Structure 1
Amino acid sequence: MRHPEYAISGGRPAPLGATFDGDGVNFAVFSQHATAMEVCLFSADGKTELQRLRLPERDGDVWYGYVSGLRPGQYYALRAHGPYRPDVGHRFNPNKLLLDPYAKRLTGTPVWHDALMGYQIGSNARDLSFDTRDSAPYMPRCVVEDPAFSWGYDHPPRTPIADSVIYEAHVKGLTQMHPHVAPEGTFLGLATDPMLEYYHKLGITAIELLPVHAFLTDRFLHEKNLSNYWGYQTLGFFAPDPRYLSEGRISEFQQMVARLHHAGLEVILDVVYNHTCEGNELGPTLSFRGLDNLSYYRLIQDRRYYINDTGTGNTLNLDHPMVLRMVMDSLRYWVEVMHVDGFRFDLCSTLGRTDHGFDPGASFFDAIRQDPVLTQVKLIAEPWDVGPGGYRLGGFPPPFHEWNDRFRDGVRRFWRGDPGRAPDLAGRLTGSAAEFDHSGRPATASVNMITAHDGFTLHDVVSYNGKHNEANGEDNRDGHSENYSDNFGWEGPTDDPKIIEGRNRRKRAMIATLMLSQGTPMLLAGDELGHSQNGNNNAYAQDNPTSWIDWAEADTDFMAFTARLIRFRREHPILRQKVFLHSRERRIDGREDLFWWRADGKPMSTSDWVDPSLRIVCVEMRTASGTPVFAATESAIFMVFNAGGDTKVRLPVPPKRQNWVWSINTATPDAPEKPVRKTEVLIGAQSVSVFVLEAAE
């Protein structure tokens, strides 16, 4: 078959990447230190390299050229010429086929082979050696795409953060074992009718997807017949991972978003801009390293080696304007072209690192805060990394929200019965003000969680005392060792009805604590169904039933109870206030907005709070100062969190013509709401009760 010969001419330096304009394709690639840049065109099956076209123009540090007649669907990649001097930070090697950082689609993932390395494996000079083998046979191809999509009347839900309930899920794991979803394990599968019906029944408002950017399975995992299931090794920041595309079309992602939007659900992406999959100096040359290692990565003073604040071998250099531009272009692409509604930034502390340490005024945060597109979507930080001073909970600028691991740990420890945890729980119930009540930040800045993808599932929190990560092939050394969990006297599954009842009661109390706290709740997909990972608290490499949700074994009773709690939260605005509650007088009626009570009905004193044996927290919440009056049927809520044994609790005296209605009792989850005629009630052990002040009949 004869293939056309293409000519290249001067084009435009912007936009970066491969852009189809109706007549041909403009290529633009950033490299500050290259001496030449080539575009490689491949046959329709991707196997044969047909042409190498040297980009003829350079404007500053952008190399570009235009190829008339080229169409969407064309396979391509890059080769970069320049010095190979690892000792000064340069690792150019034109023998290595490179992926375009702006590629909108990839045909697959690299096949592990020594030829992927820029240096000779086994050489005494290690990474200072130079490998001349062509890596093309082992590399995927970039694909020219026209990302235009007929969105019709797509309207992002723009759910206020105060009304949001986030559902953290894995694209494949959520649907792979669902009996009525096809194509399972894909973007399209997430938005099938059975899933949309389920989301509606559960009551969530947003799905937060683990990384969907194209990613790599690490070589050490590949050699152990494992895979990078979670996806935190980004290969391309614009391309959806081909493993989640059933027919290889990026429009499948757009169709998913459109269907979820139509159902009133937002889509939030977990994004990894802190590092790439190329690792340290001994890693492969796949894209960024070969295009301009010195610009893309943060290097130590000896530029042969990488700064590793991420624990993955490298750190992206967001201090470089063109690297920052790539990240910003990527974020805007996913909002404007793919219509996503927000982002959760992995190891976000790294994105704020400068030569002087973490800076909330770093270039990345300033760029985000002035951007008219990105300030309209939800922005969530994972507020830590493994570098020095990397734990920054509460230290991010508005409009960022933050994952709150102290909420997770505090709730687990309170319900486990650890001494002296009542004051901490009180702080978590009211939005973690100690961390977030500054700089005008709202209580919703705290993204509350009791579990996440990284760690035990909720069922495992009450089933295992220790981690069981042997399947990861690291002799159980990986993963957190302190999980603040409790197996109720038996490690793992059991048929003992007392242990089962104790575990179920603890789970109901913990999920209730999550949904009744001020802040923004995040639920790990599968927790509401009783999903277990058999004690694996670091299932990043388990692309199998360990991580996949088993819908056939779902705990439907617990799911119904979780849905009831979400519905209760939605129906009671007192539980989702943006203003922090600080026992201040309301401007409306002069009464305070927050009361802490002892079980005998007396106000809590300092000596009560410092009692290490305190196992019960009783709180009355009202609307915050200056907040508009809610319906007269909800002037206050009284909640009891009892981690001890059965306890009698005296209710606050209700105003005239009002009484308390016992609305939630996790000890008897199926009990209907009922007015309370007595002044004292018995609160069951290991349970949460909620009373709503309503007009008396």
Structure 2
Amino acid sequence: MKNKKSSPFPFGATLYDDGCNFSIHSPDNIVSLIIFTDSENQEYKLKTHDQIVYYTFIPNITSGTQYGFKTIDNDGHSRLLLDPYSHSLSKPLQYNSPLDTEQSWTLSKSIVVDHNFDWENDTAPNHPIEKTILFELHIKGFTQQCPHIAPQYQGKYLGLCQPDIIQFFKQQNITTLQLLPITSFVTESHLKENNLTNFWGYNSVCFMAPHPNYAEKDAVNELKHMVRELHKNDIEVILDVVFNHTAEGDHNGPCFHLKALDKNYYLHNNPQQYMNYTGCGNTLDLTHQASFTLVLDTLRHWVNEYHIDGFRFDLATTLGRDHENFSPHSGFFMAIAQDPILQKVKLIAEPWDIGPNGYQLGNYPDNWHECNDKFRDITKSYWLQQPNFAKNFATQLMGSRDIFSASRWPQKLPVNFISYHDGFTLQDLVSYNDKHNEANGENNRDGHSDNRSNNHGVEGDTNNTAIILLRDKQKRNLMISLLFSFGIPHLLAVDSLSHSQQGNNNAYCQDNPISWADWNLSHINDVFKQWLADIIAIRQQIMPDVIRAFSNENRNKNKITWSNANGTQITPAQWLNIDHFSLHIDLFNHDGELLYLINATDTSLTFNLPKSTKWSMVCDTSTQNIIVKDVNVSYIQHPHSLSVLYRAN
């Protein structure tokens, strides 16, 4: 069918007033277009000039039209494929293994989308990176049990922008939501066999299509509505994206689209097996132009059509690989750096995968902020296990400058965190010594065993008041260490509610109350929620200016002093056995001073304070209250606690 709008580009379904252009990259198979109607399915042959890209323009196609691409396998059977560029799916994608050609015709279909939407003059919040507070959450899990929103919105996109939920975000003083994957994904067959679900969503099918399960009716418009309302309240939205692999798995896995369309979408050992740098069966090859184009087009799509503010890249080392070799100068990084749309958004890397030399912390280019697992492990060890980690902990407080040079701040601040979606929640870190993943159906073999946690005498829940109070104090120690370190604080949203996963540190398949935020707070947990909100607000008044002072041309003129409790400076030899210290930061040109008093011992210590004038107390983790008082000359720091003091000159 000839039409002046018939074109090989852009890929996917592009809607016009008088019809729709369809285009697909398919060098391995000749494909035809299938349009689904109420009466009968219509098949259209596609044009091609190079036997690589197939395309056509069909008049009178409207938004909501369902379509797919048909190919014939070696046995002469016809298979229906999803469009890799699908902007929407007709229903949640489910299949029974093995996914044969006959079943392929019963699955979800691709949908033509009209992206017109009233954004009401939406403006991105664009928070400076030094003022960014990340709040990681799961769309469904965070609101599924929330009693403050109507049942039809619980667990949905629209649930995240209901007035009471937005008010909660604002009360907690966070700036940025980091959402677990919301692109279309599918549950693996081995989970279905055990009546489990891929809850987290790290098993992508169509990178541009919002997951339909989180919509009441229309995933595209409801997600846009969510982003618009969050932006109105000065809250950014970052997506966790998975471009390192697809849901098609290894050579035994299902075929949804890419496997049939182009074998070079993947890295191959041989024609029978895919390279597996991800642990998920296959690895997307970004040295292949079609894969590279798909990923870049997808990122621009989310920014242009959904006004997304940034991305967190799962197993990002894979994206910077030229087969086995990682490079910060790879085509992927260079393309984003020069892209006028993508260069403006926030970029966060999970800086590892499981391939050769996969751990690349600190090696990403400027404007890429990396998840700092060193901060997580060392900070947990210092407070919860207390081997001789004081020197390493001190390094983490100062921004892990052994890995992230201050000369590259703020365009390369580390993303510091204590808890993430994988691993223990904050409450479980102080309540369990061991993981308890039996519900996952793998005999507790899955999940990390190196949790660096401490149950403080009882495994799990307890009525022992002393243990409850000690756990609460340790939570405050961990949060103050996070919020007053140099970096971008990343908080797990359910930690503000002191949510427990019952010791499960790998709840990826638990679509149930194990993963759903518990909004019924005990008194002590309600007090912690308010304490955390207050301390974040104080952090926002102090730390951005301090970070900026270490990020400009005068950064080396700031004075840093490490001392014992008696006020004498710590020698290199003393760091080997020290169990307490103070950190005094005196900013250049009398722009302010910050003082940390850190006592990991079993006894109270009297710290002699620098100078003889008054300090303002920011917090003391030995109490649930935010202390507002001036301190002079000395201060008694209770066991296993820390204080932060400040003076504005």
What's the TM-score bracket when you normalise by the shorter of the two chains? over 0.9
Cα separation, 2, equivalents of 1:606 and 1:531: 40
Q: What is residue 227 of structure 1 aligned with on the other side? A: 197
Q: Which of 570, 583, 586 in structure 2 is aligned with 1:619? A: 583
Q: Which of 618, 626, 637 in structure 2 is aligned with 1:663? A: 618
Q: Deviations over 1:640-695 (max 9, x none)?
A: 1222223323333326xx41122211111315311123x22210112121111256
Q: Which of 630, 635, 638 in structure 2 is aligned with 1:681? A: 635
- AA aligned opposite 1:568: I
TM (norm. structure 2) is 0.95
Structure 2 counterpart SS, 1:617: strand
Q: Deviations over 1:31-81 (max 9, x none)?
A: 2232x211111124xxx7611212123356211001011111101111234
Q: What is residue 467 of structure 2 aligned with on the other side? A: 499
1:73 and 2:56 are equivalent in the alignment: no
Q: Within 5 Å, which residues of 2 pair with 1:596-615?
A: 596-611=562-577, 614-615=578-579
Cα separation, 1, equivalents of 2:143 and 2:226: 13
TM (norm. structure 1) is 0.89
Kept in 2: contact 1:642–1:688 (CA 8 A): yes
Q: Deviations over 1:126-174 (max 9, x none)?
A: xxxxxxx423443101110011211121000000000000000000011
Q: What is residue 512 of structure 2 aligned with on the other side? A: 544
Q: What is residue 212 of structure 1 aligned with on the other side? A: 182
Q: What is residue 129 of structure 1 aligned with on the other side? A: none
Between Structure 1 and Structure 2, how many residues are aligned? 644
Kept in 2: contact 1:16–1:27 (CA 8 A): yes
Q: What is residue 264 of structure 2 aligned with on the other side? A: 295
- AA aligned opposite 1:110: L
- AA aligned opposite 1:666: T
Cα separation, 2, equivalents of 1:110 and 1:566: 40
Q: CA deviation at 1:353?
A: 1.1
Q: CA deviation at 1:483?
A: 0.2
1:648 and 2:617 are equivalent in the alignment: no
Q: Deviations over 1:414-457 (max 9, x none)?
A: 00243220011111101111111177353852000000000000
Structure 1 counterpart SS, 2:259: helix
1:435 and 2:435 are equivalent in the alignment: no
Cα separation, 2, equivalents of 1:567 and 1:230: 30
Which structure 1 residue ranges, 4+ long, deviate > 6 Å from structure 2?
A: 584-587
Q: Which of 235, 238, 263 in structure 1 is aligned with 2:233? A: 263
Structure 2 counterpart SS, 1:638: strand
Q: Percent identity?
A: 39
Q: CA deviation at 1:83?
A: 6.0
- AA aligned opposite 2:608: L
Q: What is residue 90 of structure 1 aligned with on the other side? A: none
Q: What is residue 44 of structure 2 aligned with on the other side? A: 53
- AA aligned opposite 1:690: V
Change (3 A) 1:288 1:439: farther
Structure 2 counterpart SS, 1:434: coil
Structure 1 counterpart SS, 2:371: strand
Q: CA deviation at 1:224?
A: 0.8
1:567 and 2:533 are equivalent in the alignment: no
- AA aligned opposite 1:422: A
1:41 and 2:35 are equivalent in the alignment: yes
Q: Deviations over 1:475-524 (max 9, x none)?
A: 00000011000011111101111111111111111111111101000000
Q: What is residue 19 of structure 1 aligned with on the other side? A: 14
Q: Within 5 Å, which residues of 2 pair with 1:626-641?
A: 630=591, 635-641=592-598
Q: What is residue 389 of structure 1 aligned with on the other side? A: 357
Cα separation, 1, equivalents of 2:406 and 2:283: 30
Q: What is residue 560 of structure 2 aligned with on the other side? A: 594
Q: What is residue 83 of structure 2 aligned with on the other side? A: 100
Structure 2 counterpart SS, 1:350: helix
Q: Within 5 Å, which residues of 2 pair with 1:421-500?
A: 421-437=389-405, 440-442=408-410, 445-500=413-468
Kept in 1: contact 2:28–2:260 (CA 8 A): no
- AA aligned opposite 1:187: Y
Change (3 A) 1:666 1:575: farther
Change (3 A) 1:574 1:195: closer
1:245 and 2:200 are equivalent in the alignment: no
Kept in 2: contact 1:436–1:442 (CA 8 A): no
Q: Deviations over 1:390-428 (max 9, x none)?
A: 011001111100000110001000002432200111111
Structure 2 counterpart SS, 1:391: coil
- AA aligned opposite 1:180: H
Q: CA deviation at 1:317?
A: 1.1
Change (3 A) 1:671 1:578: closer
Q: What is residue 99 of structure 2 aligned with on the other side? A: 116
Kept in 1: contact 2:378–2:389 (CA 8 A): yes
1:414 and 2:382 are equivalent in the alignment: yes
Kept in 2: contact 1:601–1:649 (CA 8 A): no
- AA aligned opposite 2:117: F
Structure 1 counterpart SS, 2:273: coil
Q: What is residue 627 of structure 2 aligned with on the other side? A: 672
Q: CA deviation at 1:201?
A: 0.4
Q: What is residue 301 of structure 2 aligned with on the other side? A: 333
Q: Deviations over 1:62-111 (max 9, x none)?
A: 11001011111101111234768xxxxxxxx8622111011110012333
1:199 and 2:169 are equivalent in the alignment: yes
- AA aligned opposite 2:533: A
Cα separation, 2, equivalents of 1:144 and 1:676: 65
Structure 2 counterpart SS, 1:250: helix
Change (3 A) 1:319 1:438: farther
Structure 2 counterpart SS, 1:551: coil
Q: CA deviation at 1:9?
A: 5.7
Cα separation, 2, equivalents of 1:512 and 1:674: 18
Cα separation, 2, equivalents of 1:444 and 1:669: 34
Change (3 A) 1:483 1:70: same
Q: What is residue 487 of structure 2 aligned with on the other side? A: 519
Structure 1 counterpart SS, 2:57: strand
Cα separation, 1, equivalents of 2:302 and 2:342: 10
Structure 2 counterpart SS, 1:236: coil
1:307 and 2:261 are equivalent in the alignment: no
Change (3 A) 1:305 1:159: same
1:190 and 2:160 are equivalent in the alignment: yes
Q: Deviations over 1:519-542 (max 9, x none)?
A: 000000111111000000000000
Cα separation, 1, equivalents of 2:243 and 2:618: 44
Cα separation, 1, equivalents of 2:611 and 2:409: 33
1:30 and 2:25 are equivalent in the alignment: yes
Cα separation, 1, equivalents of 2:16 and 2:527: 54
Kept in 2: contact 1:433–1:443 (CA 8 A): no
Cα separation, 2, equivalents of 1:404 and 1:248: 37
Kept in 2: contact 1:431–1:444 (CA 8 A): no
Kept in 2: contact 1:430–1:581 (CA 8 A): no
Q: Deviations over 1:3-48 (max 9, x none)?
A: xxxx6767111111001111001000012232x211111124xxx7
Kept in 1: contact 2:406–2:551 (CA 8 A): no
Change (3 A) 1:110 1:247: closer
Kept in 2: contact 1:596–1:603 (CA 8 A): yes
- AA aligned opposite 1:108: K
Structure 1 counterpart SS, 2:102: coil
Structure 2 counterpart SS, 1:226: coil
Cα separation, 2, equivalents of 1:487 and 1:208: 29
